Amino acid sequence: MSAPHPTRQALLDAGVRLAEASSLANLSVNAIVGKADVAKGTFYVHFADRKAYLVALHRGFHDDLLAQIRVAIEPLPPGNERIRAGVSAYLDGCLKARAVKALLLESRAEPEITNEVQKRNRAFSRLLASEFEAADAVEAAGAARLLVATIAELALAEAEKGNPDQALRRHLWRMLAAR
């Protein structure tokens, strides 16, 4: 993992800060370069176009989340405790990243990055399905897809609230067990 160019990173950081404060729709190139305090042309030194920038922003967000999940589940043996640890890592990671509302939800509307979001959600679903000791792999995949959507909704609910919602998490554990 080579160190990214500092100005490129500054532009991505500016995007995260903007997404924290408002919505993806306000992530204009003007706003980004304003926040990063660089000239407009500089944006195009580091990104082919706005679409490429948004994809990069997403990728960074999800890569971070995935890394946190891996750290959380790595020491645990397969089983429900491991699954809950992974899901908790996801939810806690979302809570720390206050840009989650914009990145998780609103970006689904931008046709340019829908593919990226779907790819990431499928990756999460596969990860979850692989934890189910399922006799039928197809059934596990279906269950995982619905559960990933449920988990994302919970992350949004907590993002609005600002802190963990234990009652909702309890419901989630029950759904995970019922699968």
Partner DNA sequence: TGTACATCAGTGAACGCGCGTTCACTGATGTAC
State the binding partner of 95 from DNA, a second copy, none, CB within 5 to 8 A by kind: none
Among 17, 51, 98, 108, binds a second copy (CB under 8 A): 108
92 contributes a contact to a second copy by CB under 8 A: no
Among 111, 133, 162, 163, binds a second copy (CB under 8 A): 111
70 contributes a contact to a second copy by CB under 8 A: no
Which burial class, exposed, middle or buried, applies to 24 when counting CB atoms under 10 A from its CB (0-12, 13-18, 19+)?
buried
Question: Residue 162: left if φ>0, alpha if ψ -120 to 50, beta else—which one?
Answer: left
5 contributes a contact to DNA by CB under 7 A: yes
For 26-70, the DSSP string reads G--HHHHHHHHT--HHHHHHH-SSHHHHHHHHHHHHHHHHHHHHH
Distance CA(153)–CA(146), nearest Å, equals 11
25 contributes a contact to a second copy by CB under 8 A: yes
State the binding partner of 39 from DNA, a second copy, none, CB within 5 to 8 A by kind: DNA
Distance CA(170)–CA(67), nearest Å, equals 24
Which positions touch a second copy (CB under 8 A)? 23-25, 105-111, 138-139, 142-143, 145-146, 149-150, 152-154, 157, 165, 167-168, 170-172, 174-175, 177-179
